[in-house]
Copies of this chain bind each other. A is one copy, B any other.
Amino acid sequence: MEIKVVRQIMEWNEDCHKELQKILNDNNVLMLNVMGSPGAGKTSFIINLIKLLREENLNVGVIEGDIAGKVDAEKIAAMDIPVVQLNTDGACHIEAMSIKNIIPEFNLKHIDVLIVENIGNLVCPAEFDIGEHLKIALLSVPEGDDKVEKYPLMFTRADALLITKYDMKEYFNFNQDKVIQEAKSMNKDINIFKINSMKGEGMQEFFDWLKKHINHK
């Protein structure tokens, strides 16, 4: 009984995901699903990414997923970027239907990249496609180098792995070779970048990769 219901939810989510991708493709919008643990540096990364996108005259929209509150949405709104706060009211991940309901809030004709910040969680968000073209998984150095092995689905499904708070490497016993090797062994096509969101370091390399996926309007 339980499994049946879960399957129904997943199938329904998959339909919704495909519908969303069609809408986004028709409007030449690239959607990113930004995922990672609480405190991995998702919002800081998004703020840095917005700055780089603006320098190239690319237009951005943001959906901020949070269980409660609007701390992150306020940070984005302060940059004069269209942003919608999606409160899941306790739920541990975002589903495609929630994004579909929010999409009409954006003028897709004037957006090149739509960034979704998922709930801070290394587990459940990895299971649900939400209309995105690229899954961006963040793993921060303070979390430790055993997290790829312990939370494999996230890193198996991610298009890019961003090792964040990289400047903290000297303070933590973080073996980056182990992380890279384990991520590549479960996902040979994963693109790995080392960044320090607080100072914007390493962002350019990631952005050079991302640009290949953007359709400039």
Q: Which residues of A contact B (CB under 8 A)?
A: 1-2, 5, 9, 37-39, 66-69, 71, 90, 92, 119-124, 127, 140, 142-144, 146-147, 149-153, 165, 168, 171
Contacts and interface: CB of A to CB of B under 8 A. Distances in A.
A158 B50 CA distance: 37
A120 B122 contact: yes
Ordered nearest first, which 9 A-B pairs have the shortest CB separation? Answer: A39-B143, A142-B142, A92-B123, A39-B144, A37-B37, A37-B38, A92-B124, A38-B122, A5-B5
A66 B148 CA distance: 12
Contact of A121 (B1, B92, B146, B153): B92
A153 B119 CA distance: 14
Contacts of A38: 37, 122, 143-144, 147, 150-151
A90 B156 CA distance: 13
